Structure 1
């Protein structure tokens, strides 16, 4: 069973399953996160949806570059969670199945290309407090505690 974070599903609401891959990107006590400006300002683990025919690690590499401009190496799966939410950018209610990886940030090759996203390095302790959803915060806490 995969742990759920956030609100339980709304009774009678239909949800579209949306699988995604997200990255913990630590370096020297800091964590690389993305700040998404719209639809509301929020710090997040870089990552996103897995496209049809795409492997989770291919999606992870693509999404991290789109949202941060950084390349990564040696991704390793550390867990997963699910959450039920409305995604206004797609106008859907989604059951998000979020697979979390830890990877090494290699280098920044470009600015983020995903509209409204900014790459932000912050101390891991701060990320644990400011990440926008409880699942992301949980995995940042696991990293902080040395369990990842």
Structure 2
């Protein structure tokens, strides 16, 4: 599996943290989330898979929490690995990031995740603005 970002450091013990993230196209634009903290950044909506939760269930939950939208027809389009410090959890993580393409069906209200805002933008702009190198790479491959 391809790694993006820094290599694993031998002096750190990493916790395995699987996560799911969605590419959500509609009418030439993508639905992203803007997270205000710890650093303001645009991201593909998604997050960690909770213990005992399936990746698809986690994808629906995370997209809804971060955008307020319901989604349909998710299909996995790629995956990558990152070794990162997650300040919100005070955790060094080996993140396995599974990327899905899904259809945004309808909004159901604002994001319930504090500090998140749903943002529509042209796909070409999103490739340049996504904070995560792995997300930028996969999105760039998909939209050409």
TM over 0.5: yes
RMSD: 0.6
Q: TM-score, normalised by structure 2?
A: 0.98
Match of 2:61, SS state, is: helix
Question: In the alignment, what sits opposite 2:111?
Answer: 112
Q: Deviations over 1:35-69 (max 9, x none)?
A: 00000101000000001110000000000000000
Runs of 4 or more, structure 1, over 4 Å off, are none
**Structure 2 CA distance, aligned partners of 1:97 and 1:126?**
25
**Structure 2 CA distance, aligned partners of 1:140 and 1:126?**
11
**Structure 1 CA distance, aligned partners of 2:77 and 2:130?**
18
Task: Note the 1:2-81 alignment, pairs <5 A.
Answer: 2-81=1-80
**Structure 2 CA distance, aligned partners of 1:139 and 1:47?**
15
Q: TM-score, normalised by structure 1?
A: 0.96
**Structure 2 CA distance, aligned partners of 1:142 and 1:73?**
22
**Structure 2 CA distance, aligned partners of 1:27 and 1:6?**
29
Offset of residue 135 of structure 1: 0.5
Task: Note the 1:92-111 alignment, pairs <5 A.
Answer: 92-111=91-110
Question: In the alignment, what sits opposite 2:122?
Answer: 123
Give structure 1 stretches of 5+ with no counterpart: none
**Structure 2 CA distance, aligned partners of 1:123 and 1:8?**
32
Give structure 2 stretches of 5+ with no counterpart: none
The number of aligned residues is: 144
